[in-house]
Structure 1
Amino acid sequence: MIKLPIEEVLPALKAALQFNTSAVLSAPPGAGKTTRVPLALLDEPWLLGRRILMLEPRRLAARTAARYMAALLGEQTGETVGYRVKLDTRVGAATRIEVVTEGVLTRILQDDPALENVGLVIFDEFHERSIHADLGLALCLQSQAVLRDDLRILVMSATLEADPIAALLGGVPVLSSEGRAFPVETVYLDRSAAGRIEQAAVQAIAEAIERFPGDILVFLPGTGEIRRVAAGLAEIGLGPDVRIASLYGDLPQQEQDRAIAPAKPGERKIVLSTSIAETSLTVEGVRIVIDSGLMRVPRFSPRTGMTRLETVAVSKAASDQRRGRAGRLGPGICLRLWSEAEDRRLAPRSTPEILEADLAPLALELAAWGVVAPAELRWLDPPPAAAYQQARELLAQLGALDGSGALTPHGRRMAELGLHPRLAHMILKAIPLGLGELACELAALLEGRDILRRSGGGAPDADLRLRIEAIRGIQKENISGFSAAGSGPADVDEAGRRRILIEADHWKRKLGIPTNEKEGKGGEALLDDTQASGLLLAFAYPDRIALRRPDGRFLLRCGRGAAFAGMQALAAEPCLVAAELEDQGLDSRILLAAPLEIRDLHRHFADQIEQESAIFWDRAIQAVRARKRVRFGALILQDGPMPDPDPEAAAEALLEGVRQEGLDILPWTRASRQYQQRMQFMRLMDPGWPDVSDSALIHALADWLLPHLHGLKSRADLQRLNLAAILQEALTWNQRRQLDEDAPTHIVVPSGSRIPVDYGDPSAPLLAVRLQEMFGLKQTPMIAGGKFPLTLHLLSPAQRPVQVTRDLASFWQNAYFEVKKDLKGRYPKHYWPDDPLEAQPTKRAKPRL
């Protein structure tokens, strides 16, 4: 057995776990921690013959690690060392080391919180900070604290800062291994890569083949880029001795094994991989790493409730991990498809998945564990509050949580399935309808990558039913029917199709769903249940049920807009369910959907459909409208007129119309405005009077106006109101009498005319009167019981002010004679006496003799 660097710290690790229940082990890639540590701890006395569970983030790494450890023992997997991953288990009665993936660990914990037959849980590659790893550690810590104080926990990482995790575990020992790596030369581009990253990758591979020996590992963000790079390499022709292999999570196991196996003698291997090859496994023969510097990560938006895959730059730690792949077996070279300036701007580490992921699965697992608030557990990074609350709201909508937030029996069954809550709910709802088989196929399809791809690139038809037909091997007359209009033919990913069938069969067996006969008399596949795809999608995505708008776009139940990017047959459907959306701009882009019959919506979601009476002010027609609506979230399923609306509701709607339009919509006459202003004048005299300013009236509309709106429905109806009489109701009998006495509407002047008092400025009521009508009056007229002088606007015969004064006596004595000269020159036929106090007042040009 080759001695690996990790073996130097194994004695210290054994001692640490002998005297502590937890420890942290930091070791770089290639140190041997994944395969040597579990074997080294297998016979420790504190283990008491119990099992070791080791968590690996990826299925390929879990299987590879288990096989390698079993080979070191001279055994087959399933004996002392086994593994348990999705759809593949190699575990026997004698198994002592189980390598499991993240979802499997969660299921084991939910079934046996005390982990009775487990002595040690190892979290390998914890620096990847997957949400399942964070959840598994939080649950193990609580199990250790409450149920199993002898349970050991070991966290192993290549790049994670050890101190924070050691503190989370309770200040436990931290051990480090220096590891062993051969020197790796790093080469950058002179400038940022221009064009698509695939073009830069193909060029870099071609140059590396010519310049350097050894196999090549190329890191690309996703399967689309892998396919396009493979196609580009096929075009340039690298020769018969070069083998191109792909490596990604959904690839069949045999092809994954082929990718990591050594090349045959005389053969060079190029492995096109996603980030799956960053850690935990060695791709044999690799001496050259070509790194695109990109990775694809899921990003969840609490605002929209949707997850989208986003291509982002790798972190500094991830790029170093990738670089290290070239130095596992000997000196190597790493070609980075970015510049040194860009490298300096890389983030130190990737964001933990728990901070950006859809938290619905996490919330369901916590509810099944008996935890309502995440704060009840210990986290390295707690789940964001907004995303967690939205996750619980979705679970309540799916019937997994009751009104108090506790897990329902339906929610318990959902959690036991280990699927995303949406898909688990869909399957459980489908079984009583006889649609369990279709639901299992849909669940398997929705969990993985799209099996349809357009041969010319771009997106295929968004109709989900086409995928079901492809899965079932239904041959249509023209396979181009699988592509969007005008986009060219679409190909079926046969490997993906087989994977989906295997997964669907797994769920059918687990749930006891019988397989229906799919062949008709003539050998033609039956399509009966395929048309129910939209209904099943509605169970899984009730928030993404959408109605078509008149302009061809769609409105989702959650209130967001959605639309197809190009021509799609589904765009003509009145109702559909969007299974996959890309959150961009005002309207999300619909990538995958199926039509839904409105009658199915009414039949299966009746408890969520609300009937409401909508009585509202319509600004366009300046009247109250009464509509009867059937509402499903933001969707209006039916909308019609209501013949006899509730009078009180109609009055409230009319009141809202007044609030929107302002007080000018009311029939203000000169008399009613004056009444309002007189009341404001009295309030200046005595603050105990009611405030009837415009702002106060708007604020208190319901108090003074609403009682008078019953039976009225429009702006025209409002014109029947007597606002002066309505305002008068705010006054007591004594106040009304005092108003007439202290704030008179008119003043009788010496000529005998009744002149209206203008209270437009309540602080300075004015009387506009012709100067000749005031002859003989010695003092300024007073109001408010003789306490407040009026402001006089003395007018010329042409009704233009010639003097403004509140001191009439002073005017007669001082200013009159100058005014008289001017007026006499302009109006010579009028009467301009020398002594205004003795002169006869007149409304005419001259007084009658």
Structure 2
Amino acid sequence: MEGSGRLPVDEILPGLLDALETQGRAVLVAQPGAGKTTRVPLALLGAGWLGGRKVLMLEPRRLAARSAAAYMARQLGEEPGGTVGYRVRLDTKVGPRTRVEVVTEGILTRLLQEDPALEAYGAVLFDEFHERHLHSDLGLALCLQSAALLREDLRLVVMSATLDAGRVAELLGGAPVLASEGRQYPVETRHRPRPAGSRLEQAAAAAALEALREQEGDVLVFLPGIADIRRTESELRRVGLPAGVDARQLHGGMPLQAQDEAVAACAPGRRKIVLATSIAESSLTVAGVRAVVDAGLMRVPRFSPRTGMTRLETVPVSQASADQRRGRAGRTAPGRCWRLWSEEAHRLLPAYGTPELLEADLAPLALELAAWGTADPAELDWLDAPPSGAYEQACSLLERLGALTAERRITPHGRRMAALGGHPRLAHMALEAERLGWSEAACELAALLGERDLLRGERSADLRLRVEALRAAGRA
């Protein structure tokens, strides 16, 4: 997280407060290290227009949400759950005194469905909006309608380091754009394209060991998925880690305590190589990192309207994401970045990533809109509208599941499905199983189908093995 003392974003806080006082909305473009994530929410607490209400800030990832809340609480000499709290899946720390809540994106959707006016909140901040997750786009669209119909005093701020600020400002009704340069140390960039025929884990491990030799501090390696992380860790151990160096994994499938340990500082005299997915790309500082190795790839969900199935694909990162990753090496001191692709290939990368809304399964979105009372997404203001083909298929699925009428009004069954919060297919299964007296089995299957594999490396397709592992995990 950002360090103590004065930070670059402090220079523009008066302008931000003035914009929210007079116009109610703002776009904040702040470079890594500027302090936007932890300075802005606390700065809003003294605004007269807040009127005793709370500040709600969205973070795309659970680890970043918990880390931001913990840092702000420390700045106030408190623990999370006091003035600053957080809500993430399976973990909540808020109390009666909480005035800043840091939440992950799906939780905002739940809050809006429960109270469309968000009466308890005076401002909603969308941090790291450049990641363009489906729930962040949906949350912003719902907040804009809430502000237009129910809460004209609801303040909205969209924040990011890499963002098409002009488009966002236009969506927010011509909101002012404020920029902060950030506090970034110089980072030397080295392009090391993977040799022909080499495997990703071999190139990543070789670059990580080179970084250890040539750069002080720890090494952060960006890899596309969990399997790549495991293979790279195995390759590092096969080649041989230097004495005093630990290899740590960092991805969203890990327990929260293990994630915390991965980003924590090493014991004196030790160093670490952190093998991470894009979870470490933004809103998070991995302590001690002075070198970054970037494979230049990421795993994204892609939905096919033809098959009705979602699959994970490995795709090149955008230039914006590559810049975010490179910046991890310069948060606390000068650093180096090893990119496993050529300069020519870098110029061909897209400027920004594709919003999840344009490629995802839209059944969850369609169910949320129906619960909101919206039959047609065109009734809302979007940065990118949901694709009509995928949306039509989503509505057809929901009709077959009994969640929507032919007029696309939500049914009582659909409302129960929406309240469960899972994918509509799994929610329908759980509710039907309850009617048949098979609730426990259905919930176990929903947990297995909705989460990553509990038996990574186990090739058997027998679901009984995974049910047993799930039950064991529940007893742990």
- TM interval, shorter chain, is over 0.9
What is the CA distance between 1:194 and its match in structure 2?
A: 3.6
Tell me whether 1:133 sits opposite 2:157 in the alignment: no
Within 2, Cα distance between the matches of 1:141 and 1:346? 32
Conserved? CA contact 1:193–1:200, under 8 Å: no
Within 1, Cα distance between the matches of 2:217 and 2:187? 13
* 1:304 corresponds to: 307
Letter in 1 for 2:186: P
Conserved? CA contact 2:9–2:39, under 8 Å: yes
Tell me whether 1:277 sits opposite 2:276 in the alignment: no
- Look up the SS of the partner of 1:472 in the other structure: helix
* 1:213 corresponds to: 216
Deviation >3 Å, runs of 4+: 190-194
Tell me whether 1:151 sits opposite 2:154 in the alignment: yes
What is the CA distance between 1:73 and its match in structure 2?
A: 0.4
Conserved? CA contact 1:288–1:332, under 8 Å: yes
Letter in 1 for 2:409: A
* 1:12 corresponds to: 15
What is the CA distance between 1:404 and its match in structure 2?
A: 2.3
Correspondent of 2:188 among 164, 185, 188: 185
- Look up the SS of the partner of 2:108 in the other structure: helix
Listed one character per residue, the Cα deviations across residues 675-732 of structure 1 (whole Å, up to 9, x for unaligned) are xxxxxxxxxxxxxxxxxxxxxxxxxxxxxxxxxxxxxxxxxxxxxxxxxxxxxxxxxx
What is the CA distance between 1:463 and its match in structure 2?
A: 3.2
Letter in 2 for 1:439: A
Conserved? CA contact 1:192–1:339, under 8 Å: no
Tell me whether 1:470 sits opposite 2:473 in the alignment: no
Tell me whether 1:407 sits opposite 2:410 in the alignment: yes
Alignment of 1:602-621 (within 5 A): none
* 2:79 corresponds to: 76
Listed one character per residue, the Cα deviations across residues 653-693 of structure 1 (whole Å, up to 9, x for unaligned) are xxxxxxxxxxxxxxxxxxxxxxxxxxxxxxxxxxxxxxxxx
Within 2, Cα distance between the matches of 1:461 and 1:210? 41
Instruction: Quickly say closer, same or farther: Cα 1:233–1:412, change in 2 above 3 A.
Output: same
Letter in 2 for 1:61: A
Conserved? CA contact 2:167–2:383, under 8 Å: yes
What is the CA distance between 1:79 and its match in structure 2?
A: 0.7
Listed one character per residue, the Cα deviations across residues 8-63 of structure 1 (whole Å, up to 9, x for unaligned) are 10011111111011111000111110000000111100000100010100000000
* 1:97 corresponds to: 100
Letter in 2 for 1:37: V
- Look up the SS of the partner of 1:452 in the other structure: coil
What is the CA distance between 1:471 and its match in structure 2?
A: 2.6
Within 2, Cα distance between the matches of 1:97 and 1:191? 45
* 1:761 corresponds to: none
Letter in 2 for 1:146: L
Instruction: Quickly say closer, same or farther: Cα 1:190–1:309, change in 2 above 3 A.
Output: closer
Letter in 2 for 1:323: R
* 2:455 corresponds to: 452
Tell me whether 1:438 sits opposite 2:441 in the alignment: yes
- Look up the SS of the partner of 1:467 in the other structure: helix
Listed one character per residue, the Cα deviations across residues 549-596 of structure 1 (whole Å, up to 9, x for unaligned) are xxxxxxxxxxxxxxxxxxxxxxxxxxxxxxxxxxxxxxxxxxxxxxxx
**Residues matched between the structures, number:** 473
- Look up the SS of the partner of 1:263 in the other structure: coil
- Look up the SS of the partner of 2:159 in the other structure: strand
Conserved? CA contact 1:130–1:354, under 8 Å: yes
Letter in 2 for 1:304: T
Tell me whether 1:44 sits opposite 2:47 in the alignment: yes
Letter in 1 for 2:460: D
Letter in 2 for 1:129: R
Conserved? CA contact 2:420–2:427, under 8 Å: yes
Alignment of 1:660-699 (within 5 A): none
What is the CA distance between 1:191 and its match in structure 2?
A: 6.2
* 2:117 corresponds to: 114
What is the CA distance between 1:452 and its match in structure 2?
A: 2.3
* 1:164 corresponds to: 167
Conserved? CA contact 2:217–2:290, under 8 Å: yes
Listed one character per residue, the Cα deviations across residues 340-398 of structure 1 (whole Å, up to 9, x for unaligned) are 11111111111010000000000000000000010000000000000000000111111
Stretch moving more, 323-332 or 343-352: 343-352
Correspondent of 1:142 among 141, 145, 156: 145
* 2:362 corresponds to: 359
* 2:269 corresponds to: 266
Listed one character per residue, the Cα deviations across residues 730-776 of structure 1 (whole Å, up to 9, x for unaligned) are xxxxxxxxxxxxxxxxxxxxxxxxxxxxxxxxxxxxxxxxxxxxxxx
- Look up the SS of the partner of 2:414 in the other structure: helix
Within 2, Cα distance between the matches of 1:461 and 1:125? 39
Within 2, Cα distance between the matches of 1:120 and 1:470? 42
Within 1, Cα distance between the matches of 2:201 and 2:266? 24
Conserved? CA contact 1:245–1:270, under 8 Å: yes
Conserved? CA contact 1:43–1:49, under 8 Å: no
* 1:198 corresponds to: 201
- Look up the SS of the partner of 1:213 in the other structure: coil
Letter in 1 for 2:320: A
* 2:260 corresponds to: 257
Within 1, Cα distance between the matches of 2:69 and 2:197? 42
Correspondent of 1:345 among 338, 344, 348: 348
Conserved? CA contact 1:168–1:379, under 8 Å: yes
Within 2, Cα distance between the matches of 1:60 and 1:389? 34
Within 2, Cα distance between the matches of 1:83 and 1:454? 34
* 1:740 corresponds to: none
Within 2, Cα distance between the matches of 1:385 and 1:463? 38
Tell me whether 1:243 sits opposite 2:246 in the alignment: yes
Within 2, Cα distance between the matches of 1:27 and 1:261? 25
- Look up the SS of the partner of 1:74 in the other structure: coil
Within 2, Cα distance between the matches of 1:190 and 1:409? 55
Letter in 1 for 2:382: W
Instruction: Quickly say closer, same or farther: Cα 1:191–1:462, change in 2 above 3 A.
Output: closer
What is the CA distance between 1:190 and its match in structure 2?
A: 5.5
Alignment of 1:322-337 (within 5 A): 322-337=325-340
Instruction: Quickly say closer, same or farther: Cα 1:436–1:10, change in 2 above 3 A.
Output: same
- Look up the SS of the partner of 1:6 in the other structure: helix
Q: Could you state the TM-score of these two structures normalised by the residue count of structure 1?
A: 0.55
- Look up the SS of the partner of 1:217 in the other structure: strand
Within 1, Cα distance between the matches of 2:79 and 2:321? 33
Within 1, Cα distance between the matches of 2:444 and 2:196? 41
Alignment of 1:392-431 (within 5 A): 392-431=395-434
Task: Indicate the RMSD between aligned Cα atoms, in angstroms.
Answer: 1.3
Letter in 2 for 1:311: T
Within 1, Cα distance between the matches of 2:297 and 2:195? 13
What is the CA distance between 1:192 and its match in structure 2?
A: 5.4
Identical positions, percent: 64
RCO higher in structure (CA 8 A, sep ≥6): 2
Within 2, Cα distance between the matches of 1:439 and 1:47? 44
Within 2, Cα distance between the matches of 1:192 and 1:95? 53
Alignment of 1:484-633 (within 5 A): 498=473, 501=474
- Look up the SS of the partner of 1:300 in the other structure: strand
Instruction: Quickly say closer, same or farther: Cα 1:191–1:401, change in 2 above 3 A.
Output: closer
Letter in 1 for 2:271: R
Conserved? CA contact 1:192–1:338, under 8 Å: no
Within 2, Cα distance between the matches of 1:193 and 1:249? 31
Tell me whether 1:231 sits opposite 2:230 in the alignment: no
Conserved? CA contact 2:194–2:203, under 8 Å: no
- Look up the SS of the partner of 1:39 in the other structure: helix
- Look up the SS of the partner of 1:9 in the other structure: helix
Which has the larger Rg?
1
Within 2, Cα distance between the matches of 1:239 and 1:195? 23
Within 2, Cα distance between the matches of 1:233 and 1:198? 9
- Look up the SS of the partner of 1:83 in the other structure: strand
Within 2, Cα distance between the matches of 1:440 and 1:32? 41
